Structure 1
Amino acid sequence: MQSARHPHDDPAGDVVRWAAFSCLLVPVVLVVYGTSFGGAAVATLGLAAVTAACRVLLRHSEKEERNAARVLARDRLTPAHRGRHSRAGAGTQRGCHVSCGMSPPD
C-alpha cells in the first residue's frame, strides 16, 4: 500500500512554489512603491526566468540523487564476483609468468 504524498515531502517543490509566489508578489510591491508597470514587468520576467532555471536544476539534482541511491542499493544487494584470478596482484595476467610480450632490456 502506498502512502499518500504530502506537499511537505517535496522540498524542491516547496522552493519552486515559494519562488512562483515571489514572482507574483514582487511586481505588486514594486508598483505600490512607485516603480513603473514596465519596470515591474521586466522584474517579473527576470524572476520567472531565474525560477524556471532553478526548477530545472533542482529536478536534475533530484534525478541524479535517485540514480546514485539506486546504484548504491544495487551494489549493496549484489556482492562483487571475485573469480579465481581476480586475487592476483596488479599487472599480472592469467597464464603469463614472464614479461607477457615485453622484450627484455638490452
Structure 2
Amino acid sequence: MSGPRSRSEARLATSPGQNSATDVVRWAIFSCVLVPVVLLWYGTSLAGATGTALGLAAVTAVCRILLRQSERGAARLLAEERAPHRGRHHRTGTGAHRGGRHSGGNTPVG
C-alpha cells in the first residue's frame, strides 16, 4: 500500500541520525514548558517555577549546542572518509625516483 506518508514517516526515511537529535531537542523544549506548569499546578511559587524553567532552558541550550557540534564533527569525519587520500604513498605515474634502480640501458657489456 503506497499511500501518502505522514511528515514523521517521511522524515524518518530520510536521515534517522539527524532527526533523532532534532526530536530530542523538541522534547526538551516541551519539557521546559511542561515542568513549570506542573510545578505551578502543585503549588510551587511562581519564582520557583520560573527558576526551574530558566534552568531547564539553559541545559537545553547547552545540549543543543553540543549536539550540533557533534553532528558537524561526524559530518566532517564522513567527508574525510569519502574523500580520496593524497599523500606521500599515493603518487601518480612511475617516474624516476631518487635512489631507485635504473634499467641499465647504457651500461657496457663486457
Range class of TM-score, shorter chain: 0.5 to 0.7
Which residue is equivalent to 1:30? Answer: 39
Shift of 1:7: 4.2
**CA-to-aligned-CA distance 1:27-50 (integer Å, 9 cap, x gap):** 000011110000000000000000
- Give the secondary structure class of the aligned counterpart of 1:35: coil
Alignment of 1:37-48 (within 5 A): 37-48=46-57
Q: Give RMSD over aligned pairs.
A: 2.7
Shift of 1:82: 4.6
Q: Which runs of 5+ in 1 are unaligned?
A: 85-93, 96-106
Which residue is equivalent to 1:57? Answer: 66
Q: Does 1:71 align with 2:80?
A: yes
Number of aligned residue pairs: 82
CA distance in 2, matches of 1:69, 1:43: 39
TM-score by structure 1 length?
A: 0.66
CA distance in 1, matches of 2:22, 2:60: 11
TM-score by structure 2 length?
A: 0.64
Q: Which runs of 5+ in 2 are unaligned?
A: 1-6, 100-110
1:61 counterpart letter in structure 2: S
**Structure with greater Cα Rg:** 2
1:71 counterpart letter in structure 2: E
Whether contact under 8 Å (1:12, 1:58) holds in the other structure is yes
Shift of 1:75: 3.6
The list of structure 1 runs, each at least 4 consecutive aligned residues, that deviate by more than 3 angstroms after superposition, is 4-9
CA distance in 1, matches of 2:33, 2:53: 7
Identity %: 50
